[in-house]
Every structure is written in structure tokens, then in C-alpha cells.
Amino acid sequence: MTLSDTQRKIIESSIRDIKDFPKKGIVFKDITTLLNNKEAYSILMEHLYIRYKEYDLDYIAGIDARGFIFGASLAQMLKIGFVPIRKKGKLPSETISEKYSLEYGFDEIEIHKDAFHNTNAKVLVIDDLIATGGTANAAVKLINKAGANCVEACFIIGLTFLDGIKNLENTTKVYNIVEVD
Ligand code: AMP
């Protein structure tokens, strides 16, 4: 099901812009106002369900922390497993980790080594937003290193004025619900 213009607008207008958060010059896209809007949240999840039920996925991998909300909801709707990709130091068992660059310095995310039960499992990775693409790119690498196959990366919001989407498209398919230019 493709979203109608009206449905896309309902989702888009439910996302709140917070200027200068967490630091000056950043416009933070706040999805808490999408989640507490029952119409917007259910249009979004229904759309994701209809799109991804055709994919024959084995798992959804969600990126810490807002990717957990959409990812876990969708996995339950599709009756498949959910795998968290977490910030360093949070996962209790044996992990694989991947560093990625930030504006200043670097960050690191991890996945459990045994997160996927079947080799070559078909995985969708999901997060709330793609900006520079550093986080998502590291997440795709982790999924593939854990022996699975990342078939698509899905974001509620894609910032198209940055190169993140273009760069990630070299590695996997990318699907954004709302694009901000
Ligand atoms: P990046 O690695 O630069 O693509 O950043 C993506 C990650 O940072 C996602 O997990 C987002 O939740 C968060 N993020 C980056 N920029 C924003 C923004 N403008 N508003 C909300 N979240 C953001």
C-alpha cells in the first residue's frame, strides 16, 4: 500500500521540530508526538506492515533507541523476531561491534554474535531518522557480520540535504517515509 498524500501529511505533521536540541544549529525531529498521536502512529505502522509482509523477512533489527519502538512493533505485527542493535556496553552476551565517525570523535554500536538463528536470514533494519548515515551504515555492517543479510534500511525520516541516504544506497536499499530537504 502506498501512502496517500493525506496520510503522509498526517504522519509528517505529527513530527515536532525542536530547534537547537541537543545543541545549537540542530533541528531535532521529535517522534514522541507521532507516537502519542494514535491516528499518525497507526497509519504509519499499518503502512509498514503492508509493505514488509511482502518481503518474507526473518527479523527486524532496530537501532538504539528509537528504532526499537518502530522495529519491535513491526516485528510483532509480522510475527517475526526482533534484534536490538545497541550502544556499546549494553548487550550482556558476546557481541560484534562497529565504530563509526561522528562530527567530533566516534561512537560504537553492537549486536549479539548469535542474534540470528538461521544463516543468511533476511533482515530489515529500522531507525527513526537517517542524517549522515554513519549509524545506519555501521548497523548494516553488523547485521552482515553476524551472518545475516540486510535487505533494506527503513527510516521514518530521511534528511535528504545530507549524503547519508546516497551513501547507504551503495550498501543496501533505503526506504524513507518522510523526506526533509
Ligand atoms: P546519523 O548517524 O548521522 O545518520 O544519525 C542518525 C542517528 O542520530 C539516529 O539514531 C537519530 O535518532 C539521531 N539523529 C540524528 N540527527 C537527528 C535529528 N536532527 N533529529 C532527531 N534525531 C537525530
Q: Where are the domains of the chain?
A: 56-180
Minimal-distance CA residue to ligand 1 atom 11: 129
In this prediction, residue 2 has a pLDDT band, given cuts at 50, 70 and 90, of confident
pLDDT, one tens digit per residue, over 28-86 is 999 999 999 999 999 999 999 999 999 999 999 999 999 999 999 999 999 999 999 99
**Phi, then psi, of 64 in degrees rounded to 5:** -50, 125
User: What pTM did the predictor assign?
Assistant: 0.97
Ligand 1: which residue has its CA nearest to atom 13? 129
The predicted structure's pLDDT at residue 168: 98
Average pLDDT estimate for 134-139:
98
pLDDT classification of 1: cutoffs 50, 70, 90: low
The pLDDT tens digits for 146-156 are 999 999 999 99
pLDDT computed for residue 104 by the predictor: 80
CATH code reported for the domain at 56-180: 3.40.50.2020
Q: Is 131 in the pocket of ligand 1 (CB under 6 A)?
A: yes
Percent pLDDT > 70 in the chain is 99
Whether ligand 1 lies within 6 angstroms of the CB of 71 is answered as: no
Ligand 1 nearest-atom number relative to CA 159: 19
Sign of the CA dihedral with 35 first, then 39, 43, and 49 last: positive
Query: Following DSSP, what letter does each residue of the chain receive, concatenated?
Result: -PPPHHHHHHHHHHSEEEET-SSTT-EEEETHHHHT-HHHHHHHHHHHHHHHTTTT-SEEEEETTHHHHHHHHHHHHHT-EEEEEEETT---S-EEEEEEE-SSSEEEEEEETT--SSTT-EEEEEEEEESSSHHHHHHHHHHHHTT-EEEEEEEEEEETTSSHHHHHTTTSEEEEEEEE-
